[in-house]
């Protein structure tokens, strides 16, 4: 599948996700930024979409900001989500993850607003809460939304199976290089560089038994996306 087809699928997945999650009563709103941390992760496909958006809107200065403000304590995943699902399904030992909740704000957050909002990755889009996190100190997420999130994140990785996953700042810095972007677009990426991890297709979806029936229409909707 070529890159344009993958980007089109990603756009449709965003529409489906917003429609599904939009049916829940959420406290999320503009200038609510407690979830905008330096720990957000994403795939190269989502990073490529952001890079293309920045080029189109002549907002490339955000790349300098990301490079300048990438915080050293940011979360860097040890394996991708599909790999993790695989390891857990086989009763293996997933690598230890070090996520520092005090890592600091997302490097592009400005005046409590996201300059990339329309093209923000699923890692950001999936952060929703029924109550304001600033008041509760945590996200109050319906368990079904958690399952929906995993299903979307796993499918995004699946369509980007030849790409990488990493911290938002690391993926953007990787894609800042023309050579890396060209190799990515041509499907010529090799082993993941330091700080990023290889994606893989979905072998097992992380759906708890109580949601298996309820999630079926959504799975069919995702799988019937045609490009």
The residues that touch ligand SF4, with contacts defined as CB under 6 A, are 27-28, 32, 34-36, 40, 106, 108-109, 114, 116, 120, 124, 127-129, 132-133, 139
CB of 88 to ligand SF4, least distance (A): 25
What's CA 188's distance to the chain center, in Å?
22
Of the pair 27, 202, the CB lying nearest ligand SF4 is at 27
CB of 154 to ligand SF4, least distance (A): 19
The tally of CA atoms less than 13 A away on the side-chain side of residue 138 is 3
Of the pair 85, 124, the CB lying nearest ligand SF4 is at 124
Query: What is the rounded CA–CA span in Å between residue 69 and residue 67?
Result: 6
Residue 109's nearest CA partner among 160, 35, 196 is 35
The helix or strand, by DSSP H or E, that contains position 37, with its residue range, turns out to be none
CB of 76 to ligand SF4, least distance (A): 16
CB of 2 to ligand SF4, least distance (A): 26
Of the pair 139, 196, the CB lying nearest ligand SF4 is at 139
The helix or strand, by DSSP H or E, that contains position 175, with its residue range, turns out to be helix 168-175
């Amino acid at each position: 599948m070529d890159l344009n087809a993958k980007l089109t699928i990603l756009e449709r997945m965003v529409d489906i996700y917003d429609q599904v999650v939009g049916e829940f009563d959420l406290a999320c709103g503009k200038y609510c930024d407690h979830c905008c941390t330096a720990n957000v992760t994403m795939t190269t496909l989502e990073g490529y979409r952001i890079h293309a958006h920045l080029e189109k809107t002549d907002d490339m200065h955000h790349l300098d900001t990301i490079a300048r403000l990438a915080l050293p304590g940011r979360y860097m995943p040890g394996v991708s989500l599909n790999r993790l699902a695989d390891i857990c399904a086989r009763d293996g030992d997933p690598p230890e993850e070090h996520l520092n909740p005090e890592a600091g704000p997302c490097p592009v957050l400005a005046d409590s607003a996201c300059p990339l909002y329309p093209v923000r990755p699923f890692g950001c889009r999936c952060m929703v809460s029924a109550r304001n996190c600033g008041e509760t100190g945590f996200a109050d997420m319906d368990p079904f939304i958690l399952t929906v999130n995993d299903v979307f994140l796993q499918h995004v990785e699946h369509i980007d199976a030849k790409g990488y996953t990493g911290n938002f700042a690391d993926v953007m810095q990787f894609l800042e290089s023309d050579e890396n972007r060209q190799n990515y677009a041509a499907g010529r990426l090799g082993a993941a560089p330091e700080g990023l991890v290889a994606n893989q297709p979905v072998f097992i979806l992380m759906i708890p038994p109580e949601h298996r029936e309820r999630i079926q229409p959504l799975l069919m909707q995702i799988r019937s996306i045609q490009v």
